[in-house]
Amino acid sequence: MSKTLKEEYAEYLTRVKAKGVKTTFYTCPHCEKKIETPQPTKKDVSKKGYWDSTKICPECEKLAFVLVYPNGDTQAIEMVKN
């Protein structure tokens, strides 16, 4: 039996936190659930000042473009198929 995306993501976060990485939350723009995500330090980000990536919500499995700042602020932008 294969694991669900939600289960795999929970295991990933457990490994990340075990390494001492802080986490923060963003709100999925589709299902509006709070999603935990790793938080970068200032030394982890480029001169733009944040991490950005496309993420699949472990709750609704839809795409969002997520910005994560070293201070814990986040921004999630809905991505839709045209």
Segment 1-38, tens digit of pLDDT: 568 999 999 999 999 999 999 999 999 999 999 999 99
21 by Cβ neighbours in 10 Å (0-12 / 13-18 / 19+) ranks as middle
Is the pTM higher than 0.75? The answer reads: yes
